[in-house]
Structures are given as structure tokens and as C-alpha cells.
A and B are shown apart, each in its own frame.
Chain A
Amino acid sequence: MTATRFLDPTVLSRIGSLELLARTVVDGFINGLHHSPYFGLSIDFAEHRPYMPGDDIRRMDWRVFGRTDRFYVKEFEADTNANFSVLFDVSGSMQYGSRGITKLDYGRYLAACLAYFSRRQRDRVGIVTFDDKVLEFVPSSAKHLEIVLHTIARIQAGRRGDIEGPLLKVTESIRRRSILVLISDLYEEPATIMRAVNRLRYTGNDVIVFHILDPAEVEFPFEEAAQFEDLESGDRIPVVPETLRDEYRTLMSQHLETLADRMAQSQIDYSFFDTSQPLDYALFEYLSRRQRLSRVR
């Protein structure tokens, strides 16, 4: 497996058009698509604000003073090279796939595409893989794209998963504000998930959650009674799908709705995908959300 196998031209063709769209929206920034969440020096004007003692008088807008006889300071959107990290859940449950592609593979493609695309934005890219602990930690760096891709290629799933512990470690390890993309199937209680994600959010990181599930996990189409084996724990329980399908679907639906609601409340971008959806759809979703966030500034 090569590092570039994820860079499928058919996928990236849609990405290229989105990039053109982003440049049109965020005109003036350095080849960037996304806006820096931090104000600073830049060539892109953001807004005027009243002068406050301590402000650099070089940022005073003398033309406004000439017209209004009041002191205003010009603020520009900072054009920084952001840190971009993928937080990739590689627990055993991610290797499930009912339609030819596993959630892990789907996450691979998604992470690779996002890393490559972010690198084109001249962001610094890194990756963290974890199951019940952090497995790989590649700090964000402008030179780490190849390492990130190699790391993605080497990923093997199979162990029991835990989201709170590893993300706590990540929170402690990331010093600089970053764009963090969490790719996981989120088989945890919503409260636990929100606790872990909010820690990242509260430390100033921009968190995007990609919730990936297989269609069979949502629809539960099984017919024959069988022993169902947990991919992470190996536990087995007898299941007659017909008798509990409706209740399972209800529980799953409630789980997804709860996550979506709580993520929205915490201003965390949350997107749910099943592996039957096109990969570029996920990227489009990501860029659309980034665009929307940039307009909020």
C-alpha cells in the first residue's frame, strides 16, 4: 500500500472545484481556503473598532478619523498556517464493513484526503490514532504529510476502544490551537463522548466530528437468528434479529439524535456518514462547514 493510494483523482476532482470556491469566498488570504480563527495582521480587512488604550497606533485608520473625528482601529483576519490533526479511532469496531468497505478504510480515505488537502492549504498536518490509548502521535508539521500518510497506511484495528482517555491525552499534548478532526464510530455513551470532545473544544481547538457507521449498523437488516459477536470484546449473545430490529433501530436513532443535539449545543461540527455515501460527499460537507464558520468571523 502506497501513501498516495488515497489520493484518488476522482475524489480530488471534486475537492479541486471546492478549493476554487473557497478562494472566491476568502479572497486575499495566502492560497488559503479556510480563515484563521484568530485576528491579526493580514491583508484581509475584518472590521473597525474603537481605539482602546494600548492599541498600536500604527493600526489607527486615519481616514476614518478625518471623516468622523473619532479614532478607530482597523482589524485584519489573521492569515496563519493552521495546525490540522486527525484524531482517528482505530478500535476493533472500526473494522466492520457489510458492503465491501470497512469503516476503518472509509476513515483512512477521509483522513488522507483531509490531510493532503490541508497541506495544500499550507497547514501543518498531524495525526493521532487511538483505541483505548493513544497508538500513534504525529505532531502537526509542514513536513509531516508523508509521515501522516504512512501512518494512515499502517493502521491496524482490532483492540478494544475508549474515547475519553485517549482524547484527554490529546488535549494535554496539543499546545497550540488546532483544527482537530475526530473520525470515529462513537460507540460510547453520549455524555462520555461530549466530555472528551468538549475538553478539546475548551482548549481552543476547532473540533470537527465525523461519525462513521456502516449501513448495517443503522438498519440492522439481519434475518437469521445467530450469535452476534462483539468485534472488540469478543462477547457473544444470541440474537433473533426479527424480534429486536425495531428496538435496535430506535436506540440507534436516539443515539444519533442525542449526539447531533449535544454537538450542536457545544458548537462542534458534527457530521454523520455511513460508508455507502461517497467519500467526496464527506469532504464537501467538511469544506462547507468550514466556509460557514469563516463567515461567522
Chain B
Amino acid sequence: MGFTFLAPLFLAGLAALAIPILIHLTHRERRDAIQFPSLMFLRRVPYRTVRRQRIRHWLLFLLRVAAILLVAAAFARPLLERASLGPAVLGTAREVVILLDRSYSMGYGDRWSRAVAAARRAIDGLEHDDRATIVLFSDGAEAANHRSGDGTTLHRVLDRAKLGSGSTQYGPAFQLARDLLEASDLPQREVVLITDFQRVGWEGQQDLRLPEGTVIRPIDLSDPEPANLAVTGVLLDRSPQSGSNRVAVSARVANAATVPVSDLPVVLEIDGQELQRRSVDLPSDGSATVRFGALAVPDRVTPGRVWVEGDRLSQDDAFHFVVAPVRAVPILVLQHPSARSSETLYLRRALSIGYDPPFDIEVKRVTQFVPSDLDERALVILSDAPFPRGAAGQRLRQFVAGGGGLLVVLGRRSGQGAWTADVAGLLGPGPGTVVDRLGGRGGTLSILEYSHPVFAPFSAPRSGDFSATRFFRYRRYEGPPAAAVLARFDDGAIALTEVAAGAGRVMVWTAGLANLWNDLPVQPVFLPFVHEVARHLSGYRQAPPWYTAGQVVDLALDPTAQPWGAPPALEADEEQQELVIETPSGERFMASAGGDRRHLELRGHGFYVIRPMEGTAFERRVVAVNLDYVESDLTPLDPEELVGAVTPRGDGDDRAATLAAALTPAQRERRQGLWWYLLVAVLLLLLAETALATRLSRAAR
């Protein structure tokens, strides 16, 4: 049994042992004389000058020495080596982390009630010194309480616990459990894992081993042969094949069971009304696609859902979405007064076949341009035309600053006089000379900024080849200092630049788009390139038809609204707009559309309705939220596999040594608290010493 001391310097106090030794060796002479009847006999005894050095009152001496010894030892904070003692001295107090799975798969049958009951049993099993933390987890994990040994508090936490809408992810839960256990100073560690052990929740992370000495107690709530039907996704097809302003709805239905399902009714509801019903046969552990007839797109945002008959897990039996009317992006193409219409043919044709979004194109000569042409306009393309001057030019600059997009296509007519110096901040000093690459095979685009939204769709392999395009002529151009170069030719000349101006953006393309200076219009990448440029400059945002639970929406942005020519964000005076949020469960609460708390986390599945307070410009929004369909796969994982993956690798036999290493000496000393017992012993010794000394003193008198 090894002894050590936390503050060994206090052992210097043992020097005080000299005090009782001296006291008991020294025959202290009384200060006052003792009156005695006669010195007759005392005078006859020879007086000795040398006294014998002998300890007097051995018992009293030992008491005093022991008291000093124990006081010095107590202040030195003694501690016993854990390895030689085991939990008997270290205590049996446990740090218990109860991992309670609240993913929506726990709503299968009575799993959730069984899980809560198991958690309550774990709480009731806590001893006096134990502390427990309840961690509720799904795709994230959160500690529902600060570590506590109070059963009442823990039961209240369970009373408030509710089934979530997230999917199962064991990683965050074990990570949080590890953090909690590592921060604990209790000697015993235990994790109670209450879950349905879904295989989809475990990705085989290798770095999630719990601290040494942790005991994992799995409570398996899975069912032997679960059966689950789920609508895992919906496709809203707005392609031209669906018809003008129509949308075709397709749904994917999965059967996670060992028996096939036949004639399963699948229902499409729009705005709460059942519109179509289909039957589908599903193989075991398989899925099928159900296609509904094309629907006319309503003129407002309309909620819809596809659902199947309920089973034991109802959360994934319906898939929610919203259908919003699509508004064409209004584009104004300004061409040179002397230009032929064929010069914009490829551009117009490319834009006209867009359906996501569609583009509404108007072509004008720049001399006919009036400021009112920019009303409700999203993008202006100056196709080899000079920048408008006067009031029209001023309005165009305002249009850009207000969020509008401007694409300047340089061509053979875009000489030095293409724009004046008053727009140099927007477009640079002016176009340069024409570079003639007619000799040889012409120039190519060599540097593309694939991280830019315009080129991002082409970044993947076989997603578009710009290198096949030949550029025979292009105009030299130096953009404004703030411009970003998005593409360069093989000689280093600029092909495409972008500059932000206020809330809008300006791009300059230096090689024309008329199949005269290059063959880009006849290349496959032309159409998507033009669409991406138009979509980017117009600020087009595609409203997602649904969100997945756990995602966050910005209340200040309405993706379904397209305020062409105006900034998409709220104006300053609207930023503090108060909104009423109605959740899928019917709960209502207030939220602000401005400030730092304007984000709403979507927790439930169904439809969130975001309504403004009365008398505001905000429009009613409907947000569809679906659960992560991967959670529909109830295939269980072998609990031993999961437990084995996170079980510490330490040898169980030397667990005491492991625990000893886990605790600092100060923690061990605080846990043992031997100094307290020593001081009690000192107190008893001093009481005995007082009684004995008093008795001896009286006897001496």
C-alpha cells in the first residue's frame, strides 16, 4: 500500500516533534517556590547538578507526539495509491451518461415509451453518490441536464423529453458521452445506451472509443422483423414535356419489410384535397416509383403531399412539398442601332428554351431604350451596344446598384466609345483593340474560375468542355480594379469579368455571342453557359419545394419572391418585422424577421406557416419539411458490434490502474479525504492529552 503526499512540504512540520521531546526531557522548574514544612531531610540529600535525561510521562509524551505527527500528515494531504486499494477507498460513485435515442424511428410502435421506461429504471438504479446526465440524441446530441444525482430532477427531464424528427447518428452521442465522462472525476463510468440500434445510424467511426474503464450497458429496443412503408421522395417535373405551366408529380415509395406489399394505395393531395390516387406493388425490401398525372401549377404557393396508408411508423408515411408558380426572368437585350437581328439570334434562342426558370426576353435597340424599360426587369444585356447615355444611362446604373444584373458583350462595334468615363467605375477604362487569332486554330479558354457559380456546373468531369471552343477574335479589355476575372484566353487576355456594383452585378464578355468571333454558340456548353450567366446576374433563386428536418431557413428571405430590380433582403425598416410561426404540430410562436435570431430551425415534419403581423408587406409563406428518409430503414445493427466499436481497449484486469491514471493526484486526494480522518484523530488525541495532563497536573500539586 503506497503512501504519497499531495503537499509534502508540510511534512517539515514534523520538526515540531522536538517540542514534546524537549518538554518531556526537560524538568521544568517552577517559577514560584514550593513552601515546605522543613528542609531538614532535603538538605541531607546530596544535590545533583547533572540530571538524568529521561522522558517523563511516557503516555502523555506519546499522545503529544502522535498529535503532531498526524497534524503534519494531515496538512501534507496524504493519499493512497489507487492501484493498491481499488474502489474500496476510491469509492464506487458512478458517472452515468444515459444516451436516449429520440430519432423518429423510435416512434415505431411503443419504442419511445419503452425507452423512457428504461431510462427511468436507470435513474432509479443510481446510488447516493452517483451522478447522471441524460443525453437526447438523433442526428445531433444534447445534454438535457447538467450532471445530477437528484432522481427527481432526472425524472423531470424525462417528463419533458419528446420524440424528435431527426435521424439516428450515434457519432455525436458517443462524442458527447466521451466529453462528459472525461470531464468527470468520479471513479466509475457508465454509459446506458437506449436505442433501437438502427444500422443507418452507425458509420463505423474509429475514433469514438469511450474513456478507459467505461462500462457500456446497451438496452436494445429494436424489433425482430420490423415492417415499414415510407414515401422517401417526390419529383416535381416542370419540363416542357409536362405542358405549359404544369407540373408532374412522381413519388418514390419504399417497403422496408421482408414481405412484399401489393396494391398499396398512394395518394396525392394538393392544398389538403386528394387529387389523385394510385396503387403500387412493392417488393420486399424494395421500392417503386408512382407517377401522377400532370397538374396545373396554381398561381400561389400551395402545399401538397403524397402519402400511403399508415403503419407502425407514421412519421415517414407522407412526403410534403410546396408547388409555387414559376415567374419568368425578365431580360432586356439592347443591341446596336445598326445591328442585325441575327446577331442576337443564338442568344435569344438559348434563353427562350429555358424552363428552370423560363426567361422572358425583350430585344431593343439601344437608341430606343427608355428608363421605364427597366421596370420589373431582372437583367439587361448590352449586346455589342454602347452604354446608354444621359438619363437612360443613369437609370441603368441605378438599376444595377439596386440589384439588377448587367451583361456587357463586347464585339466589333464596342470600340473606345462604347461607354463614357462616368461608367468607368462600373466597366473600367474602356474596351481595347481587337485581338485577331485567325491564324492557326484560334484561341481557347485556358483559365476558368470553376468555383464561381457560373462555371461551377461545369467543374465535374464530362460536365461541359469549353476547351473545344475556338476564339478567332476578341477585344482586349481591362476591367475596373474591383473586377474579378472569371475566364482568360490562352494568351492571358480577359474573357469574362465580374464586378459587384451595389446590390447588383456586372459581367463583361469580350468575345461576342453571335457566332462571328468564335464558335461558342454552336458548342454544347453555350446554352447552359448562357443560362447560368442569366440566372446568376438576375439573382434568380429557386425556391426549394421542401426542406429536410434539421435545416434552417432565413426568415428575412422569401425564396419564392423575386423582387426584380430590388434587393432581395429586407429593407432596413423591415428588418425587425414580427412574424407568427405555426409549426406542423399546431404550435404558434413569435419570431423576428430581422436581427441575429431571424433563423428558424425546422424540427417537425409537415408544413410550417410563416405569417406576418397584420398591416405589413410580408407575404404568407409555407415551408414543407420532410424527415430524413434514411431513418425509414429500420434494419437493426448488432448491439455487440456497436458496443465493441466504442468500448475502451484497456484491459479490464488493470482497470484500477487505468482509473488511477485517469485521476490526477489532487482528485485522488480529494476523493480519499484522509486528512479529515487524521484531524479527527488529532482531536481525540488532544482531548485525551488534555484529560491526562490535567490529571497529572493535579497530582503534582
Contact = CB atoms under 8 A, between A and B. Distances in A.
A226 interface: yes
Nearest to A94: B37
Contacts of B41: 248, 251-252, 255
B322 to A, nearest CB: 104
Contacts of B30: 224-227
A214 to B, nearest CB: 7
A230 B36 contact: yes
A240 interface: yes
A162 interface: no
Given A237-B43, A240-B48, A230 B38 contact: yes
A255 B40 CA distance: 11
A185 B37 contact: yes
Contacts of A223: 56, 696, 699-700
Interface in A86-104: 92-94, 96, 103
A163 B28 CA distance: 37
A46 B302 CA distance: 154
Interface string B41-52: 111110110011
B29 interface: yes
Contact of A248 (B27, B35, B42): B42
B617 interface: no
A92 B51 CA distance: 32
A187 interface: yes
Contact of B33 (A92, A227, A248, A251): A227
Interface in B3-31: 27-30
B1 interface: no
B460 interface: no
Given A252-B41, A255-B41, A226 B29 contact: yes
A68 B699 CA distance: 73
A251 B40 CA distance: 10
Contacts of A221: 699-700
B35 A96 contact: yes
A239 B39 CA distance: 10
Nearest to A98: B701
A228 interface: yes
Interface residues of A, number: 36
Contacts of A230: 36-39
Nearest to B28: A224
B183 interface: no
Contact of B39 (A222, A237, A243): A237
B34 A226 contact: yes
Describe B's contact surface by its main secondary structure.
Answer: loop
A257 interface: no
Given A187-B40, A221-B699, A248-B41, A229 B34 contact: yes
Given A221-B700, A239-B42, A228 B37 contact: no
A247 B45 contact: yes
A66 interface: no
Contacts of A92: 37
A229 B45 contact: no
Given A223-B700, A242-B27, A243-B52, A228 B33 contact: yes
Contacts of A240: 27, 48, 51
A27 interface: no
Most chain B CB within a 10 A radius of its CB, from A230, A231, A255:
A230
B271 to A, nearest CB: 109
A118 B292 CA distance: 145
Contacts of B37: 92-94, 96, 103, 185, 187, 214, 217, 230-232
Contacts of A224: 27-30, 700
Most chain B CB within a 10 A radius of its CB, from A217, A228, A247, A248:
A228
Contacts of B42: 228, 237, 239, 244, 248
Contact of A238 (B35, B38, B47, B56): B47
A225 B48 CA distance: 12
Given A221-B700, A224-B30, A224-B700, A229 B38 contact: no
A231 B38 contact: yes
Most chain A CB within a 10 A radius of its CB, from B28, B41, B47, B699:
B41
B36 A225 contact: no
Contact of A228 (B39, B44, B56): B39
A222 B33 CA distance: 12
Most chain A CB within a 10 A radius of its CB, from B29, B36, B39, B40:
B36
A267 B51 CA distance: 45
B301 to A, nearest CB: 106
Interface residues of B, number: 26
Contacts of A96: 35-37
A235 B39 CA distance: 8
Contacts of B35: 96, 228-229, 231
A231 B33 CA distance: 11
Given A224-B700, A237-B39, A243-B51, A251 B27 contact: no
A92 B32 CA distance: 19
A238 B30 CA distance: 10
Interface in A129-186: 185
Contacts of A235: 39
Contacts of B38: 93, 185, 187, 230-232
A272 B149 CA distance: 79
Contacts of A226: 29-30, 32-34
B693 to A, nearest CB: 12
A233 B43 CA distance: 13
B27 A244 contact: no
A256 to B, nearest CB: 11
Contacts of B48: 240, 243-244
Contacts of B28: 224-225
A94 B38 CA distance: 10
A48 interface: no
A243 B155 CA distance: 77
Contacts of A237: 39, 42-43, 47
A181 B263 CA distance: 141
A274 to B, nearest CB: 12
Contacts of B699: 221, 223
Contacts of A185: 37-38
B464 to A, nearest CB: 112
A297 interface: no
Contacts of B44: 247, 251
A91 B103 CA distance: 108
A153 to B, nearest CB: 22
Contacts of B700: 221-224
A204 to B, nearest CB: 32
Nearest to A102: B37
Contacts of A251: 41, 44-45
A232 B40 CA distance: 11
A236 interface: yes
A103 B40 CA distance: 17
A145 to B, nearest CB: 30
Contacts of B34: 222, 226-229, 239
Contacts of A229: 33-36
Nearest to B54: A242
A221 to B, nearest CB: 7
Contacts of B56: 223, 242
Contacts of B43: 237
A122 to B, nearest CB: 37
Nearest to B699: A221
B216 to A, nearest CB: 70
A228 B37 CA distance: 9
A17 B532 CA distance: 140
9 contacts: A185-B38, A187-B38, A217-B37, A222-B34, A226-B29, A226-B34, A231-B36, A236-B33, A244-B48
Interface of A: 92-94, 96, 103, 185, 187, 214, 217, 221-233, 235-240, 242-244, 247-248, 251-252, 255
Given A226-B29, A233-B39, A251-B45, 6 more contacts: A227-B29, A231-B36, A240-B27, A244-B42, A251-B41, A255-B41
9 shortest A-B CB distances, which residue pairs? A93-B37, A226-B30, A227-B33, A187-B38, A96-B37, A244-B45, A223-B700, A251-B41, A229-B33
